[in-house]
Amino acid sequence: MKTNLKEWVKKASHALVAFTLATAIWLPCLHLFFRAPLTEFYQEKGVSPKARQLAARHLQLWTEPALRQIELQKMRASNAEWDFMGRTFLVWSLVNMGLREPAMKEEYLPVIDQIIQETVKIEEKDGIYAFLMPYARARPYQVSPARSLFLDGEIALMMGARRMLQEEPGYRQPMTERLNAIEQRMRSNPLMAMESYPDECWTYDEAVALVAFKVADRLDGTDHGALCQQWVAMAKEHLVDKKTGLLLSSYQINGEPLYGPEGSTIWMVAHCLQAVDEPFARDQYERARKELGRITLGFGYALEWPASWQGPMDVDSGMVVPGLGVSAGSSGMALIAASSFHDWNFLQSLVATLDMAAFPSRQNGRLKYCASNQVGDAALLYASVLGPLWESIRKP
């Protein structure tokens, strides 16, 4: 009996040593099976194969209404915002693709127009709440009439981006009206705070609105340069978290912080600020990369909150892996920022993670990530084609 036990322990310890050794051999090799050349995902010129496949899937959704209805139903059951953001990311992506491949413009423009017109129609018919989460109705907006910067900024940028691809006079007036409304509100209080939700101001939406101003300046000869710089100066003074130097995600109209530096917000803010104030944008990106970006065993990911800030897992962060703090939302948005700031190593590692953990599914040349959703895939598409639109805004 004693000999049996001794023999068993001996075999178990051999197995344990072999298992440990096998783990040490395999884990560092795993990323090699998922790390494809970066050109598969992002190319400085032209359109990458993955971008083309992602776009094909989205174009199919917009040409087959029944299919789109199913996708939208799934997303709206969780969050009506995603329906809206799925549209905006897709429009910005198609504009970038059109600028990359002018020959494809004719294919993209009808889809872009369909998205913009349908979105505006829904907003006109059902009001701003059609694209907001239900809690928006819980209390009134501080500034009346109720307007959401989330909608105004992104719709203005959709229209502006479309006009950057090819001028369409029909969009000029509605775009100008929205931007005038935003400017009026910005100038109406010292913090230039604009509500997206009642008494909630989001730096994400403010950064998008600033880009829309820049697009208008380029297209219509207006000059919002001073206004944008005023916002940047105000943000540096009032909206920066002292511990990390990162911009807060949201605050009340009186400047009281609501959410601290959140991964799902700051990556996009840094990307948008790149078109407004490049040095400040790069500073924000580098801080976010240090506080939130990680590469482990060749796989890149991003945290939702820096170590110095305790925040919840919510609809923006998506699923957060317990222990590691990996956030699906933040990691997805990190792809946009890494691509924007040409952080190739981080981008390649993030794409490796995407291919390892997001369940890519290809069918007839169309790609979707099963773990994602329509808005997630549209944001990934945007990360894989962004560049030309910002370049044309910044061109002297």
Partner 1 sequence: MKSIFGLLRRFWKAEFFSPSAFLVRAAILAALYAVSCASGLQEYTTFLSGTSPNVNMSWQTASTLGLIHLLLHFAFILLVPILLITSGLLAAWNCWKPGCGLPARASHQYPIQANHGEPNRPPP
CA dihedral for 322, 79, 261, 273, sign (positive or negative): positive
Please report whether residue 18 would count as binding partner 1 according to CB under 8 A.
yes
Please report whether residue 356 would count as binding partner 1 according to CB under 8 A.
yes
Stretch that binds partner 1, among 21-29, 89-97, 177-185, 226-234 (CB under 8 A): 21-29
User: What whole-number distance in Å separates Cα of residue 349 and Cα of residue 282?
Assistant: 20
Contact with partner 1 (CB under 8 A) among 19, 28, 110, 177:
19
User: What whole-number distance in Å separates Cα of residue 378 and Cα of residue 317?
Assistant: 17
Length of the chain (residues): 396
Q: Write down the least CB distance from residue 12 to partner 1, Å.
A: 6
Stretch that binds partner 1, among 15-23, 105-113, 138-146, 203-211 (CB under 8 A): 15-23
Contact with partner 1 (CB under 8 A) among 79, 250, 264, 265:
79
Pairing of strands 299-302, 360-363: unpaired
Binding-residue total with partner 1 (CB under 8 A):
35
Residue 32: DSSP 8-state: G
Closer residue to partner 1 in complex, CB, 280/301 = 301
User: What whole-number distance in Å separates Cα of residue 212 and Cα of residue 233?
Assistant: 18
Q: Write down the least CB distance from residue 86 to partner 1, Å.
A: 11
Q: Which residues of 142-171 are buried (b: 16+ CB within 10 A; e: fewer)?
A: bbeeebbbbbbbbbbbbbbbbbbbeeeeeb
Closer residue to partner 1 in complex, CB, 79/244 = 79
- Contact criterion met (CB below 8 Å) for 96 and 382: yes
Please report whether residue 335 would count as binding partner 1 according to CB under 8 A.
no
Please report whether residue 11 would count as binding partner 1 according to CB under 8 A.
yes
Contact with partner 1 (CB under 8 A) among 226, 310, 370, 395:
370
Please report whether residue 75 would count as binding partner 1 according to CB under 8 A.
yes
Please report whether residue 311 would count as binding partner 1 according to CB under 8 A.
no
Please report whether residue 318 would count as binding partner 1 according to CB under 8 A.
yes
Helix (H, G, I), strand (E, B) or coil at 386: coil
Please report whether residue 324 would count as binding partner 1 according to CB under 8 A.
no
CA atoms within 13 A of residue 168's CA, in its CB half-sphere: 19
In degrees rounded to 5, what are phi and psi of residue 318?
70, -165
Contact with partner 1 (CB under 8 A) among 156, 328, 354, 389:
328
The tokens for 148 are 């959401």
In degrees rounded to 5, what are phi and psi of residue 299?
-105, 130
User: What whole-number distance in Å separates Cα of residue 105 and Cα of residue 190?
Assistant: 42
Q: What angle do CA 258, 85, 293 make, to 5 degrees?
A: 60
Closer residue to partner 1 in complex, CB, 191/358 = 358
Closer residue to partner 1 in complex, CB, 19/344 = 19
Please report whether residue 372 would count as binding partner 1 according to CB under 8 A.
yes
Please report whether residue 133 would count as binding partner 1 according to CB under 8 A.
no
Please report whether residue 5 would count as binding partner 1 according to CB under 8 A.
no
Contact with partner 1 (CB under 8 A) among 359, 362, 363, 391:
359
Q: Write down the least CB distance from residue 74 to partner 1, Å.
A: 5
Contact with partner 1 (CB under 8 A) among 198, 293, 376, 388:
376
Please report whether residue 21 would count as binding partner 1 according to CB under 8 A.
yes
Q: Which burial class, exposed, middle or buried, applies to 222 when counting CB atoms under 10 A from its CB (0-12, 13-18, 19+)?
A: middle
How far apart, in Å, are the Cα atoms of 42 and each of 38, 54, 94, 323? 6, 12, 15, 31
Please report whether residue 22 would count as binding partner 1 according to CB under 8 A.
yes
Please report whether residue 69 would count as binding partner 1 according to CB under 8 A.
no
* Of the candidates 116, 212, 78, the residue with the CA atom closest to the CA atom of residue 156: 212
Q: Write down the least CB distance from residue 139 to partner 1, Å.
A: 24
| Contact residues for partner 1, defined by CB under 8 A | 11-12, 14-15, 18-19, 21-23, 25-27, 30, 33, 70, 73-75, 77-79, 82, 315, 318-319, 328, 356, 358-359, 361, 370-373, 376
